[in-house]
Every structure is written in structure tokens, then in C-alpha cells.
Amino acid sequence: MPTTPEKRFIEALDTKAGAGRRIRFWLRDDDAVEPSDKLTRFLDGAGQHAIPALLAVIPQETGEALQSCLTSFGADRVRVAVHGWSHQNHAAPGEKKQELGLHRPMKTVLAELEAGLNKLACLYGEQCIPMLVPPWNRIDAALVDPLSAIGYRALSTFHDKKSGWKASHALPFHETHVDIINWKAGSIGRPSDALFNEMTGLIQSSGSDEVIGILTHHLVHDDQATGFLSRLFEITTSHAACHWIDPATLIKS
Ligand SMILES: [Zn+2]
């Protein structure tokens, strides 16, 4: 039988397990505002495998409808983080989209981020963790250090080649590494083979204590995206080299 990207992924996990090592996975899903069938489908899919999810919720327009939905899943299955304030782009035409830049006065941006954390903390209590997830995974470096004074304890963006600057800040970044959506191709699920190849590369290059963040966007999940997640969850929840963590444990107490 010819080998496949999925088999090579499992073999890479086997090698880790043979060396007594373990990969910690965590799941971040962005852009929740209100309940929807797509959100329920996503959370049920993760829940079938007892995988906890961190939902990055956009504070401005959200309210009790989403709160009662997420509360019904329970804090051990769904945590909530702050996804900017309104997810509005303030960058100039032609620039990369950004809500959390210096296009507006810093105090305006920070006041919104403080209001966002307060609103979600009020709605969700301890189900909300004090983590900021910048929309489009972008935040100006000048905004990072003031976040601790308004209650944030961590950030999460997407790991890329330019991620090095984040280490110079006291506030920890908990990165995601694998985006299951191809945005340039019209927001469709990426093929499973490409995703398993990418994950095999991450596992093979990882050290003894590697964390891999999986980034999802339930609102655009098609059958391909849902199918990949289901297979990933099946493989990783029954493999000795894998452990899915509660995102709340990323915040140091
Ligand atoms: Zn977003």
C-alpha cells in the first residue's frame, strides 16, 4: 500500500511516542458573535472527542444569545477569549487589514480592548480567559505592553517567519500554527493531504515540549474543513504522543 500524508503524520507521531515525547495540541476558533448551526456543528465535532476549544469572540455585537449557547457547552469544553472589539479594519486601502494598529490614537484602541474584556468577563465569568486574539492576527508592537494594565494576561496570533519580535514582550503570545482555511482561494477548506504534510513537518522539527495550535473559523467550514478536523481529532485523541490541552491552562496562574 502506498504511503499517504496521513500515514506519514501518524508515523511521525509514532516516532515521538517511541522517544517518550508528547505534542500538546490546542484549538482556537475565531469570529463568534452569535449562535449558529455552524458553530454548534463545530463544537459538537470537537466535543465528540472531548477536545476543549477556545472561541475568539468579537465583543461589540455579541450578547446573551451566544452566552447562553456557550454556557450550555460548559467551561471545560469551551473557553472564550477577546477578538479585538468590532473586527473593523482601520488600515488604509492597500495595506493589510488591521483593527489593532496605530491608525487611531492608542488610548482609543486600548479603551475598546478594555471594554471588550470587561464585557466578555461579565457575560462569561471564569469561562472567559484574559487573552487577546487580534483580528487578522495582527497587532502593533506598541500596543502589547499596555495590555497588562487593562487586564490581559496573554495574546494569541498566528506563528510566521516574522513572529520573532513577540518574544521581547513580557506578555506571552500563544501562537496558532496551522490554519485549515485557504483564504486566498475563496475561504475554502485546505486539502487534508497538505494539512497533514504541514503537521508532519511541525512535529518532526519540534523539540521535547512542543505545542501546536490549530486555527479554525467555524463560519466558513465546508465539508473538507469539517472532514479534516474530524480525522485529526480521531487520530490525535487515540495516540499516545498527543494531548489536547484546555486553553485556560495557557494562562499562567
Ligand atoms: Zn477574526
The pLDDT of residue 132 is 98
How far is the centre of ligand 1, averaged over its atoms, from the C-alpha of 13 (Å)?
31
| pLDDT at residue 233 tops 80 | yes
How far is the centre of ligand 1, averaged over its atoms, from the C-alpha of 118 (Å)?
19
For range 29-37, the mean pLDDT: 98
How far is the centre of ligand 1, averaged over its atoms, from the C-alpha of 58 (Å)?
8
| pLDDT 10s digits, 104-116 | 999 999 999 999 9
Nearest to 228 by CA among 243, 214, 212: 214
The pLDDT of residue 209 is 63
- Cell readout for 239 is 495516540
Residues in the chain: 253
| pLDDT at residue 167 tops 90 | no
| pLDDT at residue 253 tops 70 | no
For range 76-91, the mean pLDDT: 97
- Report the b/e string of 87-117 with b at 16+ CB within 10 A: bebbeeeeeeebbbbeeeeeeebbebbbebb
The pLDDT of residue 162 is 85
How far is the centre of ligand 1, averaged over its atoms, from the C-alpha of 122 (Å)?
21
The pLDDT of residue 1 is 65
Nearest to 55 by CA among 233, 253, 217: 217
Q: Who surrounds ion ligand 1 at CB < 5 A?
A: 30-31, 135
How far is the centre of ligand 1, averaged over its atoms, from the C-alpha of 109 (Å)?
16
Enumerate domains of the chain plus CATH numbers. Answer: 5-160+170-250 (3.20.20.370)
